[in-house]
Amino acid sequence: MKRDFTRLLDVTQLEAAYLLERAAFLKKVRKMRGVFKPLTNRVLAMIFEKASTRTRISFEIGMKELGGEAVFLSSTDTQMGRGEPIRDTARVLDRYVDAIMIRTYGQETVDELARWSKVPVINGLSDLCHPCQILADIFTIQEFKGDLRGLKIAYIGDGNNVANSWLEASILFGLSLTMATPAHYRPNEELLERAQANERFVYTHDPAVAASEADVVNTDVWVSMGMEKEKEERKKAFAPFCIDSELLKKAKGDVIVMHCLPAYRNQEISEEVFERFHEIIFTQAENRLHVQKALLEWLVEEV
């Protein structure tokens, strides 16, 4: 049966746990330079309507290491960019390829593609969700902190797609998550309401509350792609939300700091804090590869 990964809540807690275990196995195989090619002769179409570094490289290399191939399609390369209906693009591509990954603006584009495609569709990023990133983040936390149970995870910054996917992670895993955003930059209201059913979830407008006794502190850019006109306004609103050494004094002594990149030093994170935790942050970036390989293997082999 065809499955999609349009958002984190497309999988069950048990399935997510399997993907994380599989990612650990695939990371070990790669480190040992082992050969494991379950997707030989399979092809992934990668549609990019938004620019990318980590998403493109991790999916392209991941597919190659699994024995398959990846085809890059920008919005200027396809008829989607000229107004062809998404349902038609889906029904053409699913006759050529074994899976589709899309990095786009509207979540409705991802959902429409998944609705009409007969092959798995993966959300590489939309304005609503960034599920691959959060799955990789949880994998990274497990590597550095072990069991998620008992950990306080803080997300401090914009109520954007990363924040929304952290809300979904809190719903899925029952995480102890505290999220702090400015009052006018809240995450998705529907997801926020659902997350609040988890008694271990806290939403606040005070970054100090989120950082207090935190085991993990996460942040993201203040100005996402497509919001460049709001840059100065956002910088003023988010100024108290910078992850700096003063804020981290409120966290636990062995706190780890994460950032999904790209990072703008001395805006959402200070230069000093970024460099102090650079090994974790770049491991987090690397882990996109391993988690997405697990996801590709699982989705494509199921079809």
CATH class of segment(s) 8-130+288-302: alpha beta
- Is the pLDDT score of 83 beyond 90? no
* Tens-place pLDDT, residues 237-293: 999 999 999 999 999 999 999 999 999 999 999 999 999 999 999 999 999 999 999
Cite the residue boundaries of each domain of the chain with CATH code 3.40.50.1370: 8-130+288-302, 135-284
pLDDT digits (tens, 9 = 90+) for 5-54: 999 999 999 999 999 999 999 999 999 999 999 999 999 999 999 889 99
State pTM to two decimals: 0.96
Both tokens of 114, joined, read 């998944």
Q: What pLDDT is stored for residue 163 in this prediction?
A: 98
Classify residue 115 by burial, with Cβ atoms within 10 Å: 0-12, 13-18, 19+.
middle
pLDDT at site 116: 98
Which residues participate in catalysis according to the annotation?
103, 130, 133, 220, 260, 288
Fold of 135-284: Rossmann fold (3.40.50)
Residue 110's nearest CA partner among 19, 202, 47 is 47
User: What integer best gives the mean pLDDT of the chain?
Assistant: 95
Question: 239's torsion region: left (phi>0), alpha (psi -120 to 50) or beta?
Answer: alpha
DSSP-derived secondary structure letter, 259: E
What is the phi-psi region of residue 157: left when phi exceeds 0, alpha when psi lies from -120 to 50, beta otherwise? left
In the prediction, which pLDDT does 218 show?
98
